[in-house]
Structure 1
Amino acid sequence: MNILKTLAMIIKVISTIFISGAIAWELWNIYAVINNITIPSSLNFIFWIERFAITAHLIEAVIAAVYASGKGKAPLKYAVYTFFVGTVALMELFSKEENGIKKPV
């Protein structure tokens, strides 16, 4: 198997786990605020990293939704996929296949 395909698959799995964790982390934060639970200030840095990652992936998902239909893909489905996977999904969307091999545009 090609090393780039293997690396892309590893990134996809790790990104999906981290974004799912970031969503859970933010939901826990919302729960804590609603129920007046004090969150240690030492965790603020983690919240900022998590929010940056969620925002970046959301922007990538919007880009994917806009361009997916032009590439023959379902916009909503590809946007959700891109939200969880990230830049690798955008690279797949904007690559072109030549002889069965995906090449960057």
Structure 2
Amino acid sequence: MDRTNLKSIKRNLFNFVKIISTVLIISAIGLELWNIYAVITNSNVPNSLNLIFWIERFAMTCHFIEAIIAAFYATSRKKMPIQYATYTFFVGTIGLLELFERENDY
């Protein structure tokens, strides 16, 4: 495979992961809002969802930490910290990879 073909595959894979990650993070936020609503209204959330809640909380925590790292380093890469942190929160590790990769690689 030549280098341009690998770049194309990488770009397509990154775009796919960005879309999936954004959908899953938005879904995780929805789950947390549902859980908060259930606590406020004294409703019950099914116990069968406990594992799902732990997984989404772990993912949200990881994405939040990645967003903090992105905000910290964004200015050194001539990016807006809040905007890039928000972007990285939704797309995850790919946001950090894009932030730290060399200019001519992507």
The two structures share one fold, judged by TM-score above 0.5 = yes
Whether 1:30 and 2:36 are equivalent positions in the alignment is yes
Kindly provide the amino acid, as one letter, of the partner of residue 80 in structure 1: T
User: What residue ranges of structure 2 are gaps of 5+ in the alignment?
Assistant: none
Aligned ranges for residues 1-105 of structure 1 at < 5 Å? Answer: 2-98=8-104, 101-102=105-106
Q: Percent identity?
A: 57
Q: Segments of 4+ in structure 1 off by > 4 A?
A: none
Which 5+ residue runs of structure 1 have no aligned equivalent?
A: none
2:102 aligned counterpart, secondary structure = strand
TM-score in terms of structure 1 length: 0.92
- Which one has the bigger helix percentage? 2
Q: How many residues align?
A: 100
Q: Which one scores higher on RCO, CA 8 angstroms, separation ≥ 6?
A: 2
